[in-house]
């Protein structure tokens, strides 16, 4: 039951983008087309889960035992950057088709603050490793849900007359605000 609560909470109640406002740059940047949103969701989910596992292990088996847990943020940033590079190299060698499908999304994940945010939140919320993995996966699903919803709405907005000053990013921010308020309705769920 505890894993189910973590799952529902991370996807709907505490959505990383719409409630915690992390990952706004890729949320706005790649939400203009549905295909790019789905690609970014897959890449973020993959890297977020791997980064959470790696940072969790480093936190509890290196930083805390050595008494240097104050180095958490810089260490996590380096680990995430190295992990993204490693994943990129491995995918290029092992599966060139998947590497081509992900394209520019992998390097963009290095600068996605949602990945770092999830790694830090798992430590702050004192999750054990299985809970941290469920939390990171559910957070990636919540990120993807918000991204796909916004991109679908933005594609629909291309078909209707929008005032010139509101086209593009301004209307996307208005829609994101309305989505955020809609997700607030899940607040009492968990």
Instruction: Specify if 190 maps to a domain.
Output: no
Count of domains in the chain? 1
Instruction: Specify if 4 maps to a domain.
Output: no
- What per-residue confidence (pLDDT) applies to 87? 81
Instruction: Specify if 110 maps to a domain.
Output: yes
Instruction: Specify if 6 maps to a domain.
Output: no
Nearest Cα to 26, choosing from 114, 118, 153, 103? 114
Over residues 62-83, the mean pLDDT reads 94
Which residue range(s) make up the domain with 109?
Answer: 16-184
Q: Which of 33-37, 60-64, 107-111, 133-137 has the lowest mean pLDDT?
A: 107-111
Q: Which of 33-47, 56-70, 96-110 has the lowest mean pLDDT?
A: 96-110
Instruction: Specify if 189 maps to a domain.
Output: no
Instruction: Specify if 135 maps to a domain.
Output: yes
Q: Which of 11-20, 59-68, 86-95 has the lowest mean pLDDT?
A: 86-95
Among 36-40, 80-84, 127-131, 183-187, top mean pLDDT goes to 127-131
Instruction: Specify if 165 maps to a domain.
Output: yes
Over residues 144-167, the mean pLDDT reads 91
- What per-residue confidence (pLDDT) applies to 11? 93
Instruction: Specify if 11 maps to a domain.
Output: no
Could you give the residue ranges of the DSSP H alpha helices within the chain?
2-8, 24-29, 34-58, 64-66, 72-94, 96-102, 105-109, 113-124, 129-157, 169-184
Of the pLDDT bands very low, low, confident and very high (cuts 50, 70, 90), residue 96 is: confident
Neighbouring residues of 125: CB distance < 8 A, sequence distance ≥ 6: 135
Over residues 145-155, the mean pLDDT reads 92
Cα angle for residues 158, 153, 9 (degrees, 5° grid)? 165
Q: Which residue has the higher pLDDT, 163 or 104?
A: 163
């Amino acid at each position: 039951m505890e894993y189910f609560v973590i799952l529902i909470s991370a996807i709907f109640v505490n959505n990383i983008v719409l409630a915690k406002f992390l990952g706004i740059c890729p949320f706005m940047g790649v939400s203009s087309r549905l295909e790019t949103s789905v690609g970014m969701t897959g890449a973020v989910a993959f890297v977020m889960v791997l980064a959470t596992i790696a940072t969790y292990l480093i936190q509890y088996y290196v930083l805390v035992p050595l008494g240097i847990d104050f180095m958490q943020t810089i260490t996590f940033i380096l680990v995430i950057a190295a992990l993204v590079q490693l994943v990129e190299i491995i995918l290029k060698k092992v599966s060139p088709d998947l590497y081509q499908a992900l394209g520019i999304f992998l390097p963009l994940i290095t600068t996605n603050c949602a990945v770092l945010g999830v790694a830090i939140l798992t430590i702050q919320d004192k999750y054990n490793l299985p809970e941290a993995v469920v939390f990171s996966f559910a957070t990636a699903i919540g990120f993807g849900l918000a991204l796909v919803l916004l991109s679908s709405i933005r594609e629909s907005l291309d078909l209707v007359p929008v005032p010139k000053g509101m086209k593009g990013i301004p209307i996307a921010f208005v829609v994101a605000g309305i989505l955020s308020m809609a997700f607030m309705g899940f607040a009492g769920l968990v």
